[in-house]
Amino acid sequence: MRSFGMQSSLLQHLRTMESEVIDLHIQLERAFVEKIKTTTELEKLCDVTYKLDSFGNSKDRHAYKFSLLFDRMAKLSHFMTTEDFHRIVVFICRQKLYQTVILDTLTKYFIEHNEAVMETSFVWLVYAIAMSGYEPQEQSVFNKLCIEKTLNHFNKMDIEEQISLAYGLSILQICPQEILCQIFSLEYLVLVDKHRLRGQDVSIKIMGLNRCAVLEYPQLNIPWFHESYEDQFINYFDMLDHHFNYLPEALSQVLGGPKFFQKNVLTPYFHPIYAELFLDENKRPVYYSKAKQVQAKNAQYQPIAIVAFAEQSTPLNEDKKLTGILQTYIRQLEIIGYKVVVIRSTEWNSMAMYDEDERVNYLMKKLFTV
């Protein structure tokens, strides 16, 4: 009995503590939001970004605070220094928080103070614009200043910054040709090897640059160096399967069976395609094996690339734009002859798609109106 009484008392104590912790958490949340709303110094708001950065991947839970923070920063942008600019652009890249209001603020500052912006900050800004799919309000001015700053400062940057910058500019379709030629010169590639820049991030960026050079700047005659990168896409295709349940079954039903398409296809330039299929001149599906044999000889059938886009469903992704990388994939797939069908995970997993007939109708519209 005594043991039972002690356990009961301990349980009551723990419940009281839990209630007190929740109350304390609510008070801290309110104080944090109030600080964002009332702060009049941009430098202090930048300090707030570092506190939010410590929350790591919990940005969905803190979406309201992030939105308040960016709105407040925009209102105080006339106080921005180059140091503030750097801290903010690094923060949004690390957290992948590409809200229009803050990107508008940063691009406006860059246009007005481009000479003062540090090279490192410039690299982060280009990367943010490229990854987000955001289009600056003064796009032509922004592009012109980016090209000028790149040509004037490229050789002052370290190799990783050079590769990141060129990669971002290639996604934006404004990478100067002389920069691509420099990167794919024998001397530069030897330099990359010398610095042992063989991490996955660097390798992916160089491969992306190589794709861009071969497909979008064919006049440069830069060869395709990347011929054995299949292994890195295995986990990517597994991830897509997790986000697109029932898609193969629905696709099979729409086309007339699994023999009409092939899942998990890589193009010769390693664009990952969720599913590849072919339509004849009357938009009827063709047996995949037959189409591949004929396609090797002539372009009798239209290849269709189904690109599955596993996007983040978050209040911070308010524009629902395609990412810069996905826009680049679509552009390059079209260059090599595909019609591209994009399927978003947020659409595929929406309440409207829980019904099998709705999934089939959705695919019918996507496939046969391309």
Supply the pTM of this predicted model: 0.81
Q: Can you tell me the distance from the alpha carbon of 40 to that of 49, in angstroms, rounded to the nearest whole number? A: 15
Measured between alpha carbons, how far apart are the two ends of the chain, in Å? Answer: 75
Element containing residue 279 per DSSP (H, E): strand 272-279
pLDDT digits (tens, 9 = 90+) for 155-205: 999 999 999 999 999 999 999 999 999 999 999 988 887 766 555 577 788
Q: Can you tell me the distance from the alpha carbon of 83 to that of 86, in angstroms, rounded to the nearest whole number? A: 5
pLDDT digits (tens, 9 = 90+) for 316-361: 445 567 788 889 999 999 999 999 999 988 888 887 778 888 999 9
Among residues 57, 137, 153, 46, the alpha carbon closest in space to that of 89 is found at 46
Q: CA separation (Å) from 364 to 261, 358, 359, 368?
A: 15, 10, 9, 6
